[in-house]
Amino acid sequence: MFGQGYVGLPLAMRAVEVGFDVVGFDIDTRRVGRLREGVSDVEDVPDKVVAAALDSGRYTATSAPEACAGFDVAILAVPTPLRDGTPDLSYVLDAARTAGAGLRPGALVVLESTTYPGTTEEVLGPLLSEVSGLTPGIDFHLGYSPERIDPGNERWKLTNTPKVVSGIDPPSLRSVSDFYGALVEETVEVSGTREAELTKLLENTFRHVNIALVNELAMFAHELGIDVWEAIDAASTKPFGYMRFTPGPGVGGHCLPVDPSYLSWRVKRELGYPFRFVELANDVNDHMPDYVVRRLGAALNRQGRAVHGVRVLVVGLAYKRNTGDARETPAVEVCRRLLALGAEVVGADPHVDVARFPVPVKRVELTREEVARADAIVLLVDHDAFDLSLLEDASCVVFDSRHVLAGSLVETL
């Protein structure tokens, strides 16, 4: 299992649970060190699960590439970020080189990382072949299966979320489907790896575009004096043909701000024209942190105050509820803009390691005292761990970007 992060670790634990011998290979030696001590970096995987996997004798965490040799199945769950707006496949390529060096006839290699259609066949297969001297489809099986993990989701887990599976040919598909069939309740076979790669990008682009739609609507509605939240609640009563999405301070995480751009990059490169929906959605969603700061500034202005010099308490630094994942979180941009305007910014988030937060924000707890010290408060994420009534009782400006607070001084996105 290449990559023991948000995707790879839950998968590794599940594979151990159903009886596979699993080598969890990760180049992050600190992460591997913690795993060896039974400590998980992933909220959805409790420490005790890692400890049980270690105790079973069927799980080892390692950074030693030679430990990967001779596998039956290799899963690649490594990062696929954007670098200057362009897909960065370097982690996939590195993992593929290591996997290729340990590849033997009859084995199966599956890519789980989110990527543009064509990666498995055009990039991964040839590299594995070059390193191993083996031919995909003849000497080994090759497939793609997108991860649908939703960190913090109690209802839909790895095992009960249908898993899309694909292979470069029917025997590869069979092999991929059999492997995942042992891990999850339902597999969904698609005819080729490109279709599976596109499936993941379609799912994330769909979310991205719909969030942008309600974000843009929220900005219009505010100016028109219409309660967009009431309209969304009412629309959500329609039992067919409508799916609820809610406005927010911007999109974050490893998926939504990144994945749709993989698709637009591919469309632009292959076909020469832009994927307009994605570009528009990026535009709207990227603008939301700025909009939040402007609304907060306007609220302060109505009190005759400037953003400059005020103490702003930012509540929630993660990209969504009940997770400590701060990758691409809109909180970074909100804090950066407030600091640039001369505010003193303090941040409360019990889940996020502020030392790894890329903006210098002083970490505080969400307490009555902190609320009293603030001149303005922005709620970005409504973690269960927060006592939100403290914000409702605040005597300063409170900007609620999640529509979860009541209170006379609360202003909602």
Ligand X SMILES: NC(=O)c1ccc[n+]([C@@H]2O[C@H](COP(=O)([O-])OP(=O)(O)OC[C@H]3O[C@@H](n4cnc5c(N)ncnc54)[C@H](O)[C@@H]3O)[C@@H](O)[C@H]2O)c1
Q: Which residue is nearest to ligand X (CB)?
A: 5
Smallest gap, in angstroms, from Cβ of residue 305 to ligand X?
39
Instruction: Identify the H or E element spanning 7.
Output: none
Report helix, strand and coil shares of the chain as percent, to nearest 5: 40, 15, 45
| Count of alpha carbons within 13 angstroms of residue 27, beta-carbon side | 10
Q: Which is nearer to ligand X, 68 or 361 (CB)?
A: 68
C-alpha to C-alpha distance for 216 and 236, rounded to whole angstroms: 18
Vertex 141: Cα angle to 136 and 144 (nearest 5): 100
Alpha helices in 72-192, H assignment, sequence order: 90-101, 125-132, 170-181
Return phi, psi of residue 61, to 5°. -105, 135
Identify the CA nearest to 359 among candidates 327, 326, 330, 336. Answer: 336
> Which of 40/114 has CB closer to ligand X?
114
For tokens 């040919």, name the residue.
169
For the bound state, the minimum distance from the C-beta of residue 325 to ligand X, rounded and expressed in Å, comes to 7
User: Which of 73/345 has CB closer to ligand X?
Assistant: 73
Task: Rank residues 90 and 303 by Cβ distance to ligand X and give the closer one.
Answer: 90
Give 45's contacts (C-beta < 8 A, 6+ positions apart): 9, 10, 13
Residues engaged in binding ligand X (CB under 6 A): 2-8, 25-28, 31, 77-80, 91, 94-95, 112-114, 147, 149, 151, 254-255
Cα–Cα distance, 127 to 137 (Å, whole number): 14
**363 - beta bridge partners?**
347
Are 171 and 141 in contact by the 8 Å Cβ rule? The answer is yes
Strands (E), 26-80: 59-62, 73-76
3 versus 125: smaller Cβ distance to ligand X: 3
Taking the least distance from each CB to ligand X, the nearer of 118 and 407 is 118
DSSP tag of 373: H
Burial 130-146 (b: 16+ CB within 10 A, else e): ebbebebbebbbbbbbb
For the annotated catalytic residues, the residue numbers are: 255
Beta carbon of residue 184, minimum distance to ligand X (angstroms, whole number): 14
